[in-house]
Chain A
Amino acid sequence: GQNIDQPTEMTATEGAIVQINCTYQTSGFNGLFWYQQHAGEAPTFLSYNVLDGLEEKGRFSSFLSRSKGYSYLLLKELQMKDSASYLCAVRDDDGGATNKLIFGTGTLLAVQP
């Protein structure tokens, strides 16, 4: 079956670091994405991992371990505007025909002063 798990909610303090974990079990794997979504808006792309290891992009980093079915998103120097839902999504190529994204339910991050 297809399953992506991530915590429902997290709280962190402005200026701190937070790590959002994601575990997945999917029939196919062709990369893992992290998206940020503010309430009522569309998801915006944050990061992409297809090989094991860490990808760094400014204040955001993402890690992938394919053997463990595990990823995390690391946010540094938190700002109030980082309060949003963070979506983990696996690209399932479904045997090569379809490039669909399977999303977790999202982690709602609240950044407090």
Chain B
Amino acid sequence: DQQVKQNSPSLSVQEGRISILNCDYTNSMFDYFLWYKKYPAEGPTFLISISSIKDKNEDGRFTVFLNKSAKHLSLHIVPSQPGDSAVYFCAAFDSGTYKYIFGTGTRLKVLA
């Protein structure tokens, strides 16, 4: 039962171009969404979040878009840099149970 899905296991993008990572969820009770970045041998690092009352949140090169009707969110990185190469996890927070539900991750590779 995958409540949070990241259907693309990997993505390659040229340096300087836009990276778009996608995430779909099934539970309409989720009210907060987060993106984490994970480098090998390290724990996930918080990147950016969005509340369900918003449809966009921007922080520097990172923008998260939320489409509640489609139960879809995306992370845009522009311009992409080689240091952005990592695994990106989408997570949804269920405020009813105080649980984070993570997606399976998308491995982003930014090519120099």
Q: Do A and B come from one complex?
A: no
